[in-house]
Amino acid sequence: MIARRVILVIPDVASTLSNPLSETEQIVELQKKLVWAELKIQVLEEQLRLQRINKYGPGSEKLNDAQLQLLEFEPGVRNAEVQAESGREPLPAPAKPPSSRKHPGRQQLPAGLPRVERTIACTPEQCTCKVCGQATVVIGHDVSEQLDVEPAKYFVVVTKREKRACKRCEEGGVAAAPVPERIIEKSLVSDRVVIDTVVAKYSDHLPLYRQSVILQREAGVEIGRATLDGWVMRVGELLIPVVNVIRRELLGGAYLQADETPVDVQLHDGRGQNHQAYLWQYGRPGGGVVFDFCMGRGREGPKEFLGQFEGILQTDGYVAYEKVGGPKLVHAGCWAHSRRKFFDAVKLNPQDVVATRIVKLIDDLFGIDALARADKLDHDARHLRRLESAQPLVETIRGEVEAARNASLPASALGKAANYTFLQWKKLTRFLEHSVLELSTNLAENSIRPVALGRKNWIHVGSQQAGPKVAAILSIVETCRRIKIPIRGYLAAVLPGIADVSIQRLADLTPAAWAARQ
């Protein structure tokens, strides 16, 4: 273990005692400085523990500070080692009541999948009765089902366009069958290969260089990454007008959730460094989603996107969402973000009774909405239940938060959580005024999560000009996921010939409009 030197700064007692204060006042002053130093040490220890927990993952939450310190000095610590270490001194877990849920039983395979029947015949010995020796007859079958798959099969589609001419009249010339509409004209690959490339990258997070290797291995066709990137950019370009229609539909509604996430962009300026841009996500629960690409995280992004939107905007506490939209815009907060901050305080100190109690109260608040979902209540019925059950609970939470704010150091985890919640209080309680409002922006964060997963694989956006095209693809992929329609089927139906579609017909090509026609 590496020894570390700790330098303690001792207050100058001599200069303090030379102060024209009485001995009692000097002692009180020193006690105040000691208390302040202890509180400061507590804050620094909390910050250090939280950094270590974030570094080593969820398993490290069970570790004490001594174990975390040992792991800190070990090079290349793996998650499995953290889990093993955390198992040495497990914290006593609260007893959970037995679950009242019944086991759902064996999962049924979707009825829409095609079935291929395979009959297994009995052996010759089983076809003869062991008692009388006569032949047995089939009286039924034991039936079981298993999900199977055929590996991707590459083949060449040969398209022959019929040509016709009149043998009598040469002046009539030659007529050929019309060329089928395609996503990329004169491309070496079909529309399905182009769509599969887009879906594999932005839905399955498979980078283009890996897809290039797969094509060469499975089909024996060498297609460079630049060519694949050209297909993707063309699809993004074609989808931008459709995404603009979804944006207008969202801004024409009364409720939006918003969130943002960073994404690196290559600038090709010779410095060899990426620029950190942002994807701002706007969506309606159960509806469409639009990602907006911006080079920064300033207020200009949401201000330009929202325009004069005057509905409800639900976000976290990020200040860039302030002073955007029209004059009647209503800001709403997110209880999940508030709970997360108190839960961080519990992770740092599991014996923190105040933080634990507040987390439990917020869980009860979410439990009211969970029961409403289980009872399949509409927004109006859920609102009545909220007013009956959630409103008194909210007042209890407010009292606990105020007490925690007054009794904790502002820089401590509990102090930060209480201060955040107190400053967001008006936004957090908007759900008691608007029946459509959800308690959290978890749906928006779920839409952001695939971007974070993809970012670890495809690393960055190739250029600033590619940003809006990538955002358009992500918008369509996430919208299809939310409204539960097959992304491949939608793209195959909409993309061919979309470049020649009039602006008036674009509203019929959004995922929601396409799903309504199916």
Output the six-digit token pair for 33: 């400085």
Output the six-digit token pair for 291: 């990602």
Q: Is residue 377 part of a domain?
A: yes
Q: Is residue 48 part of a domain?
A: yes
Which of 388, 412, 440 represents a domain boundary (last residue)? 440
Which residue, among 92, 64, 82, 70, has the nearest Cα to 349 in the 3D structure? 64
Domain residue limits at 56: 9-62
Q: Is residue 236 part of a domain?
A: no
Task: Please state the pTM of the whole predicted model.
Answer: 0.77
Q: Is residue 318 part of a domain?
A: no
Q: Is residue 194 part of a domain?
A: no
Which of 440, 469, 503 represents a domain boundary (last residue)? 440
pLDDT digits (tens, 9 = 90+) for 353-368: 999 999 999 999 999 9
Q: 3-state secondary structure string, 312-367?
A: EEECCCCHHHCCCCCCCCEEECCHHHHHHHHHHHHHHCCCCHHHHHHHHHHHHHHH
Give 84's pLDDT tier (boundaries 50, 70, 90).
Answer: low
Output the six-digit token pair for 268: 């090709």
Which residue, among 63, 105, 437, 125, has the nearest Cα to 284 in the 3D structure? 437
What type of residue is 205?
Answer: H
Q: How far is CA 219 from the centre of its chain?
A: 34
Q: Is residue 29 part of a domain?
A: yes
Which positions ≥6 away from 161 have C-beta within 8 Å? Answer: 176, 177, 178, 179
State which of 8-17, 70-79, 464-473 shows the largest mean pLDDT.
464-473
Q: How far from 166 is each of 176, 177, 178, 205, CA to CA, in Å?
A: 12, 15, 18, 54
| pLDDT reported for residue 449 | 85
| pLDDT reported for residue 37 | 79
Q: Are 279 and 468 in contact (CB under 8 A)?
A: no
pLDDT digits (tens, 9 = 90+) for 10-53: 445 444 445 567 788 788 788 888 877 777 777 777 677 677 66
| pLDDT reported for residue 87 | 53
What ranges make up the beta strands (E) of 139-273?
Answer: 163-165, 174-176, 255-266
Q: Is the dihedral of CA 392, 393, 394, 397 positive or negative?
A: positive
pLDDT digits (tens, 9 = 90+) for 102-146: 656 667 888 888 999 999 999 999 999 988 889 999 999 999 888
Higher-confidence residue of 309 and 60: namely 309
Give 407's pLDDT tier (boundaries 50, 70, 90).
Answer: confident
Output the six-digit token pair for 336: 């999940």
Q: Is residue 388 part of a domain?
A: yes
Which residue, among 204, 202, 292, 201, has the nearest Cα to 240 in the 3D structure? 292
SS3 159: coil
| pLDDT reported for residue 102 | 62
Report the distance separating Cα 502 and Cα 498, nearest Å. Answer: 9
Residue 460 region, left (φ>0) first, then alpha (ψ -120 to 50), else beta? beta
Q: Is residue 397 part of a domain?
A: yes
What type of residue is 350?
Answer: P
Which of 418, 440, 462 represents a domain boundary (last residue)? 440
State which of 15-19, 207-211, 348-352 shows the largest mean pLDDT.
207-211
State which of 20-24, 53-57, 245-249, 285-289 shows the largest mean pLDDT.
245-249
- How many domains are there within the chain? 2
